């Protein structure tokens, strides 16, 4: 056994990249041949033996479908080792003294990837998406140093190697582990240590594995972490995705730290560090070796078709932008190791991320928009939104924002409000325009709370990388005024590659149009997958359609000539009124001109000398809707008679119900004459109004109101327009629709909608946790009828006997409206006894699950400590040989029992039910 331990614990730390494979990787991505992806050592088999003692024994690799699902918070300290250099600017592409913005960016990446919030999960092949896992690990920058002082830069320890007397970089792993780490490490039981420096041998990074401290393997050398070496080491050009990382593609997305932190929590490489090796996770396909670049899916090796390697896993060697996931078994493995490794579970209760109280302390909680690494398509602007928090004890009523893009053109915004201690709020920053295509950084800080100095400056700055693609603008010109029947040219400009004008669907930068009336032309400018619209107004002044009467008068008589159809008039007689009087001695031709702005039309008319009068009837209006009326006036005679109706007078009012021709006969002296005029009566529409769903539920999608029988429709309330409109009423309501025909005739109709509220269903159980085979009860309130699944059970209260942890769904219905809720009953195997035996130490803990008492049988006097799932100490007592601890005051939950003897310490998981 000793020989085996020596063999397994003296594995050298190596790059795990063969020369042959590096050459093939270079053909995929030339940068891959310049770096060794990872220098972390290989875990000995004793680690897997220890790990098997912490989990159920099963066939094959890993923990199967087990899921602990604990949320861990890990405090981080970043040791930036530099060569006596000034601090980099946020956008510096070189230099070893990294800016705080680059550190914050890397922590954001860790929190995104370890909580399954990375947007590139959409690129994971569909066959692998079902095993996508969520580590549920949060990383926070420490704000308190080891002596309790507040740090000027959260989570950053700037280490001047010149002042330390260390040799110049680049550094080997041997020098780092023997000199740099022991002389700069912060207590690894309180801080997750990350060193960022210039590495030798073109290495990107390496990590230490969790030391299985309580198993008898204490004091083991690399690859395990120790109080002087535990942590992660990263090349300063592969840290984060901004600053110096920008100069180092394809390792410029912060995934080196994600990969090495995966080792730090206990994960192996996906190929098991051997040809077709084992990483002890069931849901990662067996792979021949590491992958580089961005392989095409599927990449089949080790007879793992048809799906091939899971090369997009964070624990492979592909480029940063191709790493996208952890699996559920990797999550289970890490979550099993974290509370059982001596240098991991102590971190879970560290408070170094908590600030001491202060008076005026305002800070940036996070940047809401633009989102992390978001790509803003089509728009050349951003609308920033930030969240602020009052971390102090005073109410904050004012502060000052300073912000910029890419470090230039800094702007200032005065904020006023009322932010109570501990409260948070969102603030909309004014729109930032003219953002060019490409990658950018939005930088913002908040200062001067209550017009005083901020008592803690560690939370006042943040930045967010994002990208603009296809940002462009378009404009339309050619606004003009034309006469009807004429043409106009409209023109588009801007950054689009193609344009389409509507109406008429004319394509091209320019379009020749001839609208019949004033029209807004819209142009759709397309660039790549983006479409933007601009408009231009073409005003059409109508060329008048002129009407003028010819007439016949008696000798010596006077004729009245009338023109209509234009705003202004001009006659060949030089008169400018719509009606003129002439007394020609013989037959005479006259010309009337109708004028509308610059638009002119003409009409020629004749005055004839004869024995007949020229009688002119005029109606106002000549057409109306059924139920209306009109007035008809005649001129050209002295007396008048109208038919039908045998009415007398120069002017009559009539209201026929259908279109009618009226004839007027007139006399003057010895002359007579007659003329006719048509009065057009347009019918009113017959309107029908219906609702697609006359009864609706709220909240819900509402219903569609439908109108027929007219050309246009307007609905009230809401002033909604269209033959079909969607409404979402909050209560019973009657809608009225006004339907209009093309002639302008209207009618109305009503339709009613009944609104029923959706029920609010609440669910509960008196048996949230069961042993296998026990009967449980779930019940619901808030509705009239209920259906439960699985099982298709009816009733507000039902009994269930799940054989495994089950989520029950209940559908509650009242008046046809439903609400759906779920509740989970946890089923435990309730095995009864947890025990451990060694040659010099025996331990039994029972029953398991337990209720009001937990019993112990040990071979020596021990100290028993009970912790909850997040590491809080709940009880601690000393027991000799036989004893028990009262647990009646503990809530039902999963607990970890630490039994510590003179030479042995054992941690067991128990369940209170």
**Catalytic residue annotation:** 260
Q: Identify the three-state secondary structure at position 96.
A: coil
CB count in 10 Å sphere of residue 644: 11
Task: Return the closest-CA partner of residue 261 out of 396, 441, 110.
Answer: 110
Q: Are 285 and 277 in contact (CB under 8 A)?
A: no
* Helices 45-52, 328-337: crossing angle, 10 deg rounding: 80
> What is the per-residue DSSP string for 302-320?
TT-TTTB--TTBTTS---G
Q: Identify the three-state secondary structure at position 779.
A: strand
Structure tokens at 495: 């950054």
β strands within 669-805, DSSP E: 671-682, 688-691, 695-698, 703-708, 712-716, 720-721, 724-727, 733-740, 746-757, 762-765, 769-771, 776-781, 785-789, 793-794, 797-800
b/e sequence 74-85, b meaning 16+ C-beta within 10 Å? bbbbbbbbbeee
The residues, ordered by sequence, that sit 6+ positions from 625 with a Cβ below 8 Å of its Cβ are 681, 682, 683, 684, 743, 744, 745, 746
Please identify which residue in the block is written with the tokens 């099982």: 791
**Cα 780 from Cα 820, distance rounded (Å):** 11
Q: Are 836 and 216 in contact (CB under 8 A)?
A: no
Task: Return the closest-CA partner of residue 438 out of 413, 470, 394.
Answer: 470
Structure tokens at 178: 């023997």
Burial of 103 (0-12, 13-18, 19+ CB in 10 A): buried
- Kind plus residue range of the DSSP H or E element containing 126: none
Look up residue 47 and give its DSSP letter: H
Q: Are 634 and 666 in contact (CB under 8 A)?
A: yes
Give the Å distances, CA to CA, from 589 to 175, 583, 631, 689: 115, 12, 30, 57
- Kind plus residue range of the DSSP H or E element containing 23: helix 19-28
**Cα 238 from Cα 228, distance rounded (Å):** 24
């Amino acid at each position: 056994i000793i020989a085996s331990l020596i063999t397994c614990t003296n594995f050298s730390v190596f790059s795990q990249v063969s020369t042959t494979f590096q050459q093939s990787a270079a053909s995929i991505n030339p940068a891959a041949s310049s770096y060794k992806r990872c220098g972390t050592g290989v875990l000995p088999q004793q680690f897997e033996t220890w790990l098997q003692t912490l989990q159920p024994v099963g066939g094959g690799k890993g923990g199967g479908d087990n899921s602990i699902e604990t949320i861990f918070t890990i405090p981080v300290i970043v040791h930036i080792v530099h060569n006596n250099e000034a601090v980099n600017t946020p956008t510096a592409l070189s230099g070893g003294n990294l800016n705080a913005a680059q550190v914050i960016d890397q922590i954001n990446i860790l929190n995104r990837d370890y909580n399954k919030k990375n947007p590139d999960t959409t690129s994971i092949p569909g066959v692998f998406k079902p095993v996508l896992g969520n580590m549920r690990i949060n990383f926070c920058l420490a704000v308190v140093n080891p002596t309790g002082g507040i740090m000027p830069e959260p989570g950053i320890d700037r280490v001047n190697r010149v002042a330390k007397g260390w040799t110049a970089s680049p550094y080997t792993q041997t020098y780092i582990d023997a000199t740099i780490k022991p002389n700069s490490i912060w207590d690894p039981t309180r801080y997750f240590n990350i060193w960022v420096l210039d590495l030798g041998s073109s290495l990107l990074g390496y990590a230490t594995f969790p030391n299985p401290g309580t198993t008898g393997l204490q004091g083991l050398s690399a690859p395990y972490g120790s109080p002087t070496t535990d942590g992660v080491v990263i090349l300063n050009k592969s840290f984060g995705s901004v600053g110096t990382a920008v100069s180092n593609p394809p390792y410029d997305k912060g995934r080196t730290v994600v990969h090495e932190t995966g080792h730090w929590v206990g994960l192996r490489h996906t190929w098991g560090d051997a040809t077709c090796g084992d990483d002890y996770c069931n849901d990662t396909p067996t792979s021949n070796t590491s992958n580089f670049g961005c392989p095409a899916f599927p990449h089949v090796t080790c007879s793992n078709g048809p799906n091939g390697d899971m090369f997009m896993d964070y624990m492979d060697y592909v480029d940063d932008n191709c790493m996208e996931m952890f699996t559920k078994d990797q999550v289970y493995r890490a979550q099993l190791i974290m509370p059982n490794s001596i240098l991991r579970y102590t971190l879970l209760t560290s408070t170094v991320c908590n600030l001491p109280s202060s008076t005026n302390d305002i800070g940036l909680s996070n940047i809401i928009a633009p989102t992390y690494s978001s790509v803003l398509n089509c728009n050349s602007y951003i609308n920033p939104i930030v969240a602020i928090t009052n971390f102090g004890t005073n109410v904050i009523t004012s502060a000052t924002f300073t912000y910029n893009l890419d470090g230039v053109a800094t702007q200032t915004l005065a904020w006023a409000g009322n932010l109570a201690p501990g409260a948070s709020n969102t603030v909309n920053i004014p729109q930032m325009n003219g953002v060019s295509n490409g990658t950018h950084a939005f930088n913002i800080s908040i200062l001067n709370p209550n017009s005083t100095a901020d008592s803690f400056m560690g939370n006042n700055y943040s930045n967010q990388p994002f990208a603009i693609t296809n940002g462009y603008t378009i404009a339309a010109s050619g606004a003009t005024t034309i006469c009807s029947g004429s043409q106009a040219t409209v023109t588009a400009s801007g950054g689009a590659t193609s344009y389409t004008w509507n109406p008429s669907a004319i394509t091209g930068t320019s379009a020749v149009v001839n609208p019949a009336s004033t029209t807004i032309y819209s142009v759709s400018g397309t660039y790549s997958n983006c479409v933007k619209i601009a408009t231009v107004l073409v005003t059409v002044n109508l060329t008048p359609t002129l009407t003028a009467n010819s007439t016949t008068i008696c000798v010596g008589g006077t004729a009245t000539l009338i023109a209509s159809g234009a705003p202004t008039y001009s006659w060949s007689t030089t008169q400018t009124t719509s009606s003129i009087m002439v007394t020609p001695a013989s037959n005479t031709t006259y010309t009337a001109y109708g004028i509308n702005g610059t638009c002119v039309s003409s009409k020629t008319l004749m005055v004839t000398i004869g024995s007949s009068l020229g009688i002119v009837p005029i109606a106002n209006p000549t057409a109306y809707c059924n139920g209306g009326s009109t007035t008809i006036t005649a001129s050209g005679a002295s007396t008048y008679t109208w038919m039908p109706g045998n009415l007398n007078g120069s002017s009559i009012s009539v209201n026929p119900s259908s279109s009618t021709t009226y004839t007027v006969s007139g006399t003057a002296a010895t002359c007579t004459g007659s003329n006719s005029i048509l009065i057009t009566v347009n019918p009113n529409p017959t309107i029908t109004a219906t609702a697609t769903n006359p009864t609706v539920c709220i909240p819900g999608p509402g219903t569609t109101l439908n109108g027929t029988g007219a050309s246009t429709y307007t609905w009230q309330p809401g002033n909604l327009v269209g033959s079909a409109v969607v409404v979402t009423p909050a209560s019973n309501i009657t809608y009225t629709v006004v339907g209009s025909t093309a002639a302008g005739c209207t009618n109305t109709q009503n339709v009613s909608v009944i609104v029923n509220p959706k029920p609010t269903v609440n669910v509960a159980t008196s048996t949230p946790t069961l042993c296998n085979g026990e009967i449980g009860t779930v019940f619901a309130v808030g509705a009239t009828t209920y259906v439960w699944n699985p099982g298709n059970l009816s009733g507000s209260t039902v009994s269930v006997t799940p054989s495994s942890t089950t989520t029950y769904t209940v559908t509650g219905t009242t008046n046809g409206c439903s609400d759906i809720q779920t509740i989970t009953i946890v089923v435990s195997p309730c095995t009864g006894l947890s025990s451990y035996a060694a040659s010099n130490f025996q331990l039994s803990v029972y029953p398991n699950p337990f209720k009001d008492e937990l019993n112990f049988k040990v071979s020596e006097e021990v100290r028993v400590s009970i912790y909850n799932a997040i590491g809080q100490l709940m009880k601690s007592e000393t027991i000799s040989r036989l004893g028990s601890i009262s647990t009646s005051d503990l809530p039902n939950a999963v607990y970890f029992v630490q039994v510590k003897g003179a030479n042995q310490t054992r941690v067991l998981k128990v369940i209170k039910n």
